[in-house]
Amino acid sequence: MFTKDYIVGLVDGEGSFTAFIHSPNKDNGRKRRTRAEPKFFLKLVEKDKIILDDLKRYFNCGNIYFQKDSRKNHQNCYRFEVTKREDLEKVIIPFFEQNRLRFPSKLKDFKIFCEIMERIKKREHLTNAGLSNLYKLKQKMH
């Protein structure tokens, strides 16, 4: 059974709070369905997938994806990802607000992640100025 401290330690070591923010100043020809995509994920080697299954059950949200790695001296992995904004807002963020991350770098990313989520909630990502501000904020993340 997972404890809250165990999850915090696991995420401190292997987790990530991030966001893809489309730069309004760059057009590389790729089309994405959204201009701002916040994401919480945790990646573990293939043999440790059971931990991700337990994490998915604990949070009752997210998905697990296989990630093949053909680089020399690397292993195939699985990723537990939460990308649905409602789940990020109502499950993931409250959990880590109540159970503080311990690594200063991870805590900083989490705080920026929360700020990005707040701005997306206010629909700032739908204007070029707002998107530009989000892009600058994202650049402060690890």
Query: Which structural domains are found in the chain, ordered by start?
Result: 4-138 (3.10.28.10)
The sheet that has 36-45: what strands, in order across it?
15-21, 36-45, 77-82, 63-67
Segments of the chain with pLDDT less than 50: 32
Q: What's the pLDDT score for residue 34? A: 58
SS3 80: strand
Count of other CB atoms within 10 angstroms of residue 80: 24
Q: What's the pLDDT score for residue 30? A: 54
Query: What does the buried/exposed string (b/e) look like for 3-24 if buried means 16 or more CB atoms within 10 Å of the residue's CB?
Result: eeeebbebbeebbbbbbebbeb
Q: What's the pLDDT score for residue 32? A: 47
Residue 74, both tokens = 């690397």
Instruction: Output the pTM of the full model.
Output: 0.88
Measured CA to CA, the distance from residue 13 to residue 23 in angstroms comes to 29
Residue whose token pair is 């987790």: 15
